Amino acid sequence: MTDHEVRYFGRKRGKSFQRLEPFEKFLDIPSKKIFTEMKKVPKVLEIGIGDGIKISEDAKNNNKYIYIGCDIFIDGVLRATKFKLENKLDNLFIFHLNVQSLIKLFDNNFLQETRIFFPDPWPKNKHKNRRTFNSNLLKQLSSKMRKNSILKFSTDHADYFLDAMILSSKYGFKSYNNTPNMWQYSAFNATGTKYEKKALDKNNKLFYFSVLKY
Ligand SMILES: C[S@@+](CC[C@H](N)C(=O)[O-])C[C@H]1O[C@@H](n2cnc3c(N)ncnc32)[C@H](O)[C@@H]1O
């Protein structure tokens, strides 16, 4: 898939854009070099960081990992960039870019973890081809993830969850933590993201999985 084929249909900026605009000049510039020069510590990719708060706090609380986040929605990208500067974090890299273009820049076996939390569900049948977690992404991602690396997915849409499970097993991932409630929301697998909170407020059923690359 070429870059111009990666179309995006969601919102690209929100209410906080004006306030955060001054941080645009500090955005990380995507290049192959930035990734080849990264230290030999585990790397976590978060796809669609939304408001940018989860990845920012994770990077602050865990300096043994490098956190790489991307989104097309600029407000969260700028909020995380601001947080990175204010907290002088050298383990947080945030890109205003779609994930398909970003992961092309990674070497093979680059990632120890990939997360995609509450991706846009596009529930109508005619819009399902807009979903980010699709076979093109899985094909790309599969080679960038190391053996035994972890892929985490969550959603409040049952059919997206099932499709994602099937896709991930097709592209070399298998489940490892089989317990009776492994698919369900719990304090253990909670992500604490904005869209998780929204789904909980609406009393929606939430679904989670973690799978290993083999
Ligand atoms: C429903 S929001 C969820 C945000 C966050 N993960 C959460 O749980 O609160 C989905 C996010 O994915 C982003 N997104 C959609 N397609 C993307 C893509 N191809 N690459 C990067 N981000 C994408 C959207 O802009 C949006 O911010």
The share of the chain scoring above pLDDT 70, in percent, equals 95
206 lines ligand 1 (CB under 6 A): no
E runs forming strands in the chain: 43-47, 66-71, 92-96, 111-117, 145-155, 173-175, 207-213
Length, in residues, of the chain: 214
CB 55 within 8 A of CB 114: no
Question: Which residues does 75 contact at the CB level (< 8 Å), separation at least 6?
Answer: 13, 14, 15, 16, 17, 20, 51, 52
pLDDT of residue 7: 64
CA 122–ligand 1 middle distance (angstroms): 12
Ligand 1 atom nearest 154 alpha carbon: 8
Residue to probe by mutation, ligand 1, list 1, 17, 49, most atoms within 8 Å of CB: 49
CATH match of 3-213 with 3.40.50.150? yes
208 lines ligand 1 (CB under 6 A): no
CA 59–ligand 1 middle distance (angstroms): 18
Q: What is the pLDDT of residues 34-52, one digit of tens each?
A: 999 997 899 999 999 999 9
pLDDT of residue 6: 57
- What distance, in Å, lies between the first and last C-alpha atoms of the chain? 25
The full set of domain ranges for the chain reads: 3-213
CA 91–ligand 1 middle distance (angstroms): 21
pLDDT of residue 4: 45
- Report the chain's mean pLDDT, rounded to a whole number: 92
CB 38 within 8 A of CB 66: yes
Does residue 3 surpass a pLDDT of 50? Answer: no
C-beta atoms surrounding 40 within 10 Å: 6
Q: How confident is the model at residue 209 (pLDDT cuts 50, 70, 90)?
A: very high
195 lines ligand 1 (CB under 6 A): yes
Q: Which of 125, 12, 145, 128 is nearest to 68 (CA)?
A: 145
pLDDT of residue 1: 44
Q: What is the pLDDT of residues 129-187, one digit of tens each?
A: 999 999 999 999 999 999 999 999 999 999 999 999 999 999 999 988 777 777 888 87
Minimum CA distance residue for ligand 1 atom 12: 48
132 lines ligand 1 (CB under 6 A): yes
Q: What is the pLDDT of residues 95-119, one digit of tens each?
A: 999 999 999 999 999 999 999 999 9
